[in-house]
Amino acid sequence: MKLNVALSMNPYSTEAIDFIGDLRGETPELLDELAIDGEAYYSGVTAKLLDEREINNRDIVKIVLLETVLILVLLYALTRSVKMSIYMMGTILLSYLSALGLGIFLVDVLFGFEALSSRVPVYAFIFLVALGIDYNIILASRFIEERKAHKVKDALEIAIRNTGGVISSAGVILAATFAALTTMPIADLFVFGFIVAVGILIDTFLVRGMLLPALILFFEKDQEPVAVQRK
């Protein structure tokens, strides 16, 4: 038996998607109460959007875990330091969450986008992590190189002074490139480009300019000279 039902709300709205999700979850109990031996399936644009949201919510967990573990392994192979690998990766994840939250807030306030496609957070995570880790590696590699001949503070100052211009220039150019997507008439591309552009700027000037150097300065300590006692 097929029933055609029209929702009294906007079928593309979050409210409609949540309603179909709740209805789908309550369907087995409704069938039992009506003594109907069978199953119920939902179709239409709202059900399709619900399926997409559930799949994307599931996939982003897998992607975040897998990508985080793989990048941590690569960072450890580069730095030979567990703690440096952890806070380098931690700044990337913090940068992504900040960009996502700020981006969603700004596109709502400035452009009136009340809802966000479930695909955008997944795509934004992949791009922001892949691009942001490059800047981390540039700074950390130079710090490790200078650390062999200087104290932590001096090595960090040299690393920032020699890589800051390159990272800042690359970040501005890359942010402008993704910001060009905001000229597209497609809502998903507009929001994606805006969030990634904001994330790159956060990553370039706040994370790489202040947060990561502060963490390095706090956690990396100069080795105390060992006094040799002569007999």
- Domains in the chain, CATH or no CATH each: 1-42 (no CATH), 55-219 (1.20.1640.10)
State yes or no: pLDDT of 137 exceeds 80.
yes
Centre a 10 Å sphere on the Cβ of residue 163 and count the other Cβ atoms it contains.
Answer: 18
Cα–Cα distances (Å) from 37 to 3, 24, 29, 31, 198, in that order, read: 17, 16, 12, 7, 53
Has residue 76 got a pLDDT over 90?
A: yes
> Any residues with CB less than 8 A from the CB of 38 and at least 6 apart, and which?
31
Q: Please tell me the distance from the alpha carbon of residue 194 to that of residue 104, in angstroms, as a whole number.
A: 9
pLDDT (tens digit, 9 = 90+) per residue, 12-65?
Answer: 888 888 888 888 888 888 878 777 777 888 888 888 888 888 888 888 889 889
Extended strands (E) in the chain: none
Residue 225 has pLDDT above 70, yes or no: no
Q: Considering the chain, what percentage of its residues have pLDDT values greater than 70?
A: 95
Distance CA(159)–CA(172), nearest Å, equals 20
Read off the pTM.
0.80
Write the pLDDT tens digit of every residue in 101-134: 998 888 888 888 777 777 888 889 999 998 888 8
Residue 17 structure tokens: 């998607």
Q: Given pLDDT bands bounded at 50, 70 and 90, which one contains residue 209?
A: confident
Looking up tokens 């580069």 gives: 78
22-32 burial, b at 16+ Cβ within 10 Å, e below that, comes to: ebbeeeeeeee
Banded model confidence at residue 158, pLDDT cuts 50, 70, 90 = very high
Chain mean pLDDT for the chain: 86
Q: Taking the CA atoms of 40, 43, 48 and 49 in sequence, report the sign of the dihedral they define.
A: negative
Q: What is the pLDDT of residue 228?
A: 46
Model pLDDT, residue 58: 86
What Å distances lie between residue 2 and 39, 47, 83, 92, CA to CA?
Answer: 12, 15, 59, 49
Residues of the chain with pLDDT > 90: what percent? 35
Mean pLDDT within 160-185: 92
> What pLDDT does residue 192 have?
92
* Banded model confidence at residue 226, pLDDT cuts 50, 70, 90: very low
Burial class (CB in 10 A: 0-12, 13-18, 19+), 103: buried
User: What amino acid occupies position 157?
Assistant: E
pLDDT at position 201 is: 93
Chain Cα centroid distance, residue 116: 15
- pLDDT score recorded for residue 172: 94
- CA 106 – CA 63 distance, rounded (Å): 26
pLDDT computed for residue 231 by the predictor: 45
